Amino acid sequence: MILAAAAALCCGSPAGKDAREALAGASAEGKFYYAHQDDPSYGHSWRVEDPSGDPLDRSDVFGVCGQYPSMLGFDLGELELGGTANLDGVSFELMRRAAKKQAERGGLVTISWHARNPLTGGDAWDVSSDKVVESVLEGGEKHREFVAWLDAAAEFLKSFGGIPVLFRPWHENLGSWFWWGGKLCTTEQYKALWRLTYEHLKDVDNLLWVYSPNGNYGEQGYIERYPGDDIVDIVGFDSYQSGPMPDSRERYIREMQTALDIVSRFASAHGKLYCVSETGYEGIPDPKWWTGTLLPAIEGYSPCYVLTWRNAWDRPGHYYAPWPGSPDAEDFIAFAVSGKVKLLDK
């Protein structure tokens, strides 16, 4: 069923086909790729100092369990400003080098884009105007500048030399905290933004396109803003645990199960794979989070990957994966050997 459905996906390149077959294969075996944002670039209290020479072997996840995440997450944010590093200081050259190394290890890469606000000049979270999406569409006052941003993204992604990339633009679009969010544009404008992006990147033939709203949306919103079967390969959602234990645990599991129910049915009806495109619990205040909460939250479903967010090197409490000595490290090892998680050897 899953392999037959995969034939309906939109990406036509051999590398993209291999990637989606690998993802479908893992999911058919009841396993998911484990992804960690910015994993080789920095971790809890350390960072790569030499992005062009560092061997990129260090990883908080590897430091804990002796294996690497099978997927790396990166973000393009501020590529559009023409600098050498993204909004969190991750060098674009490091991303390219890490992606190559990841492919050699047999792993995958996913890339999101916290693009700056093209109308106001503010950041991705600047929601002071609801005219931003309109302004970048055909005929809008920022259209030309925005197309230049898309072209810069295309050029960067082409420089990966055919390594498949799960590209995840304009995420968490049902909430209203990014300029492309729910109250900031109409459904038609959102879809037009996605199509414009697709059109300008479609000759980057190593991309798989991931649609990833925030999880607490309800089915109607999810369906309404879905860009279209011809321009999406994988459907997912972002959902986090927040607030004190134990109440937040129950709520998180409930929200994850509801979202997985919606997304898995949607994926099966549309011939797509599905994933948990972002999740986590900031600072992991529950030492049994991995086996006691995350695994139960996805029980009964087979997402092809699950990504946890970044371990900021300069904010000790802002982490979503274990690091050597973190209170959840032992539980992460149990998670890693649960038979459900795909990780990579050195």
- Residue 189: phi and psi, rounded to 5, are -65, -40
Evaluate the CA torsion angle 164, 310, 258, 32 in order and state its sign: positive
Q: 16 or 73, CB closer to ligand BMA?
A: 73
Mask for 218-257, x = binds ligand BMA (CB under 6 A) = ----------------------------------------
User: What SS3 class is residue 72?
Assistant: strand
Cβ-based nearer residue to ligand BMA, 75 or 286: 75
- Within a 10 A sphere around the Cβ of 284, how many other Cβ atoms? 25
Binding mask 255-274 for ligand BMA (x = CB under 6 A): --------------------
Cβ 255 vs Cβ 295: under 8 Å? no
- Residue 123 or residue 205: which is nearer to ligand BMA going by CB? 123
Q: Give the shortest CB-281-to-ligand BMA separation in angstroms.
A: 13
Q: How far is the CB of 37 from ligand BMA (least distance, A)?
A: 7
d(Cα 285, Cα 183) in Å, to the nearest integer? Answer: 33
- Number of residues located near ligand BMA, criterion CB under 6 A: 6
Amino acid at 44: H
Sign of CA dihedral 239, 245, 249, 250: negative
Q: Tell me the closest approach of the beta carbon of residue 88 to ligand BMA, in angstroms.
A: 5
Pick between residue 177 and residue 261 the one whose CB is nearest to ligand BMA: 177
With CA atoms as reference, report the closest residue to 333 among 29, 30, 34. 34
- Smallest distance from ligand BMA to CB 261, Å: 25
- Nearer to ligand BMA by C-beta: 263 or 312? 312
Q: What does the alpha-carbon distance between residue 342 and residue 250 come to, in Å, rounded to a whole number?
A: 26
CB 28 within 8 A of CB 2: yes
- Comparing C-alpha atoms, which of 232, 238, 159 is closest to residue 191? 232
**Given candidates 310, 319, 323, 344, which one binds ligand BMA under the rule CB under 6 A?**
310
Measured from the CB atom, is 109 or 262 closer to ligand BMA?
Answer: 109
Shortest CB 268 distance to ligand BMA, Å: 30
CA–CA gap between residue 242 and residue 281 (Å, rounded): 6
75 lies in the site for ligand BMA, by CB under 6 A: yes
**At closest approach, how far in Å is the CB of 61 from ligand BMA?**
17
Q: Smallest gap, in angstroms, from Cβ of residue 309 to ligand BMA?
A: 6
Q: Give the footprint of ligand BMA on residues 113-142 (CB under 6 A).
A: 114
Task: Return the HEC string of 164-212.
Answer: CEEEECCCCCCCCCCCCCCCCCCHHHHHHHHHHHHHHHCCCCCEEEEEC
Question: What residues have CB less than 8 Å from 304, skipping those under 6 apart?
Answer: 23, 24, 26, 27, 32, 33, 234, 273, 274, 275
Does residue 234 contact residue 304 with C-beta atoms inside 8 Å? yes
Q: Of the candidates 169, 57, 39, 173, which has an alpha carbon nearest to the alpha carbon of residue 104?
A: 57
Q: Give the residue with the Cβ less far from ligand BMA, 42 or 222.
A: 42
- Report the nearest approach of ligand BMA to the CB of residue 134 (Å): 25
Of 124 and 193, which has the nearer Cβ to ligand BMA?
A: 124
> Using CB under 6 A, which of 2, 85, 87, 245 touches ligand BMA?
87
- Least Cβ distance, residue 271 to ligand BMA (angstroms): 31
CB nearer to ligand BMA: give 18 or 314: 314
Instruction: Provide the binding-site residues for ligand BMA, judged by CB under 6 A.
Output: 75, 87-88, 114, 309-310
